[in-house]
Structures are given as structure tokens and as C-alpha cells.
């Protein structure tokens, strides 16, 4: 009987969440940390906006996701509040020029869910939180708030994390549903869309080491960027299936591959900066009857990548 009891206890421990490959740990009301085999992987920051001071408001005006540096307990690969362009935060999503039409036909404009000077985004609740052997996922319900404090749309943001060999794979799916008859999303390549921002160390110390890998132009020069503009509307800057950025953080080289779904709105106009921010944006009109769903994938590696392998991943992402 004693042997049976011991075996039962061992089985219970092995089945407990602490022995799962992935595990979430919640600092309630602040952030949710993801661990893989005991090592921190990501932190979803969801603290509700705090209007008690200008500084606290700036720290809390939108949810975002950090990625940890490899084998670090407290250092991030990504940037949080502060630093160059405080509104750049890890993995994030928003638009600098939003307007909407209310039920009375009145237009409300100059709503900025990117810089969040007056508008903001606020996490309301988690509708999914899962962790297992092969992946982990959360779904965050987020209200988009206008300049007067009114929620004009609700976003369901799902982030799924998995491993591909030693790489971290982050799948980002967002569905934005207006609470008003119509929402117009707009901005520009530098201030809208789905974006990734590396640690502020890149801006302060290592920007000359940053380089980009692109489908058309291949591996770029260090410190050199190519951005979409009305005068540079080409296959090198628009509707790219993928792009990758290589940066130096914490004395290590990291590469982030950004995969764009062909089902996302087009044209998708891309931007990149030597200080470690890149991504794309689009223009869209959204209604309650036709919500906007977008899908992106990030593959993050400590080390460098080759264009051929990113192309392969892009095709796999599209096929799935």
C-alpha cells in the first residue's frame, strides 16, 4: 500500500502544471509571465490604465508583450515604457489615425491608439489561458477608448507561443469588433499596425549593428534601412510576405522574422528603423457586421537567419 501511495504521489506531481513544458504565472492586475522548462519566455503586460499621474498614465495606457532575453531571469529583448519613443513597447498593435461614426451619424476623429496621448487601450479580462507540452496561449479582451473615455471597439487578442527547435514562435491573432456603426483605421508605416520594438539598448549602443533581411533585396547592410513612402512604393516596401530584423542586445545577436498573412488587409506598407522597430500597417474600414481579423507570426532566434529558411517558414505559415 505504501508503494502504491508513493507512486500515486509521483504521478500527481508529474501531472501538475509545474512539470509542463509551458507554464503561466500571473502577477494579478499587472502582468502574466510565461515560462518554458522553468526559463522565462514572455511577459504579457496588461495593467489597467492609471490616471493618477502623467507618469503612471504613460506606463499603463496600452497592453503589450515583452520577450525575455535568452537565459535571463529579468532582462528583456524588447522595450517597455520610457526610452526613445515611449509608446514603442515590445510586440504591440494600434493605429495613430482612427475615426468612427456613431449611431447618430456623428464622426469622431483624431483618435490615436498608437501614441495614446488622449485615447488608450485597456485590458478587461482574459477569455483564454492555456499551457501545455507543446504550446501556450492567452486571449486578452481589450477595449479601444476614444478621447472622451468611450469604448468604441473591442479587440480579442490571442497570442500563442511555441518552440521551433531553439527558436520561439509567437502567433498573433486579433479580431477588432466596433461598438459603433463604423470605424476607420489609418496611420502611416511608422505609426500604425502590428510592430516589434527591440530593447532600448539597440538605440543607445548597437544600432550600427542592426540589419534587415528582405524577400527582394536579401541581406541588407548594417545600419541601413528601407522604408515605404509615396515615392518608394515598390515590391521592396509593400505587401512583403515576410521581413526579418537582426539586432544586438545584451552582448548577443538576435533575429526576429516577421511573417504577414496574405489574408490581412492590403496594401501593407512596411517600415524599419536601425534602433530596432519594424512592422507594417494598412488602412481598413470595420463594421460590427464585418469585424477585422489579422494574423501574424514572429519567429525569434538567438543567432542569425538565412533568407531561404525565412521563405520556407513564410510558405508554411500561409499554408496553415
Q: Does 315 map to a domain?
A: yes
Region 225-247: what's the mean pLDDT? 96
For position 279, what pLDDT does the model report? 98
> What is the rounded CA–CA span in Å between residue 21 and residue 111?
41
Average pLDDT score, the chain: 94
pLDDT of 12 above 70: no
- pTM score, whole prediction: 0.93
pLDDT of 16 above 80: no
Q: Does 301 map to a domain?
A: yes
Q: How far is CA 57 from CA 86, 87, 118, 174, 180, in A?
A: 12, 11, 10, 24, 26
Read off the pLDDT band of 216 (50, 70, 90).
Answer: confident
Region 164-175: what's the mean pLDDT? 96
For position 205, what pLDDT does the model report? 98
Read off the pLDDT band of 20 (50, 70, 90).
Answer: low
Read off the pLDDT band of 281 (50, 70, 90).
Answer: very high
Residue-number span of the structural domain to which 246 is assigned: 95-319
CATH number at residue 236: 2.70.98
At 67-118, the pLDDT tens digits run 999 999 999 999 999 999 999 999 999 999 999 999 999 999 999 999 999 9
Judge whether 76 and 64 are in contact, CB under 8 Å: no
Q: Does 49 map to a domain?
A: no
> Among candidates 246, 190, 256, which has minimal Cα distance to 222?
246
Q: Does 84 map to a domain?
A: no
Residue with cell 483624431: 110
Q: Does 275 map to a domain?
A: yes
Q: What are residue 5's DSSP bridge partners?
A: none
pLDDT of 145 above 70: yes
pLDDT of 4 above 50: no
pLDDT of 54 above 70: yes
Q: Does 310 map to a domain?
A: yes
Q: Does 149 map to a domain?
A: yes
Question: In the chain, how many domains are there?
Answer: 1
Q: Does 241 map to a domain?
A: yes
Chain-centre distance for alpha carbon 4: 48
Grid cell digits, residue 244: 526579418
At 253-265, the pLDDT tens digits run 999 999 999 999 9
Grid cell digits, residue 201: 539598448
DSSP run (H or E) holding 12: helix 2-15
Read off the pLDDT band of 10 (50, 70, 90).
Answer: very low
Amino acid at each position: 500500500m505504501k508503494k502504491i501511495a508513493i507512486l500515486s504521489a509521483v504521478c500527481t506531481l508529474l501531472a501538475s502544471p509545474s512539470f509542463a513544458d509551458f507554464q503561466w504565472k500571473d502577477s494579478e492586475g499587472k502582468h502574466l509571465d510565461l515560462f518554458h522548462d522553468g526559463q522565462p519566455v514572455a511577459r504579457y503586460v496588461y495593467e489597467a490604465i492609471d490616471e493618477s499621474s502623467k507618469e503612471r498614465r504613460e506606463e499603463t495606457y496600452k497592453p503589450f508583450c515583452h520577450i525575455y532575453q535568452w537565459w535571463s531571469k529579468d532582462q528583456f529583448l524588447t522595450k517597455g515604457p520610457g526610452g526613445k519613443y515611449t509608446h514603442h513597447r515590445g510586440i504591440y498593435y494600434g493605429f495613430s489615425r482612427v475615426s468612427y461614426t456613431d449611431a447618430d451619424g456623428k464622426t469622431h476623429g483624431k483618435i490615436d491608439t498608437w501614441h495614446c496621448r488622449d485615447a488608450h487601450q485597456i485590458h478587461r479580462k482574459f477569455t483564454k489561458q492555456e499551457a501545455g507540452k507543446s504550446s501556450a496561449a492567452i486571449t486578452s479582451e481589450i477595449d479601444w477608448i476614444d478621447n472622451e473615455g468611450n469604448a468604441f471597439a473591442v479587440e480579442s487578442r490571442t497570442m500563442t507561443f511555441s518552440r521551433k527547435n531553439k527558436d520561439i514562435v509567437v502567433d498573433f491573432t486579433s479580431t477588432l469588433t466596433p461598438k459603433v456603426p463604423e470605424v476607420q483605421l489609418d496611420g502611416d508605416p511608422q505609426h500604425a499596425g502590428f510592430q516589434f520594438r527591440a530593447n532600448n539598448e539597440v538605440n543607445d549602443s548597437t544600432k550600427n549593428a542592426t540589419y534587415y533581411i528582405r524577400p527582394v533585396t536579401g541581406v541588407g547592410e548594417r545600419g541601413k534601412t528601407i522604408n515605404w513612402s509615396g515615392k518608394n512604393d515598390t515590391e521592396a516596401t509593400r505587401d512583403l510576405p515576410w521581413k526579418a530584423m537582426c539586432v544586438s542586445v545584451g552582448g548577443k545577436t538576435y533575429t526576429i522574422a516577421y511573417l504577414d498573412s496574405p489574408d490581412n488587409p492590403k496594401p501593407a506598407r512596411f517600415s524599419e528603423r536601425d534602433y530596432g522597430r519594424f512592422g507594417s500597417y494598412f488602412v481598413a474600414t470595420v463594421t460590427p457586421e464585418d469585424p477585422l481579423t489579422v494574423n501574424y507570426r514572429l519567429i525569434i532566434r538567438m543567432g542569425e537567419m538565412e533568407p531561404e529558411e525565412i521563405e520556407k517558414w513564410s510558405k508554411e505559415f500561409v499554408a496553415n
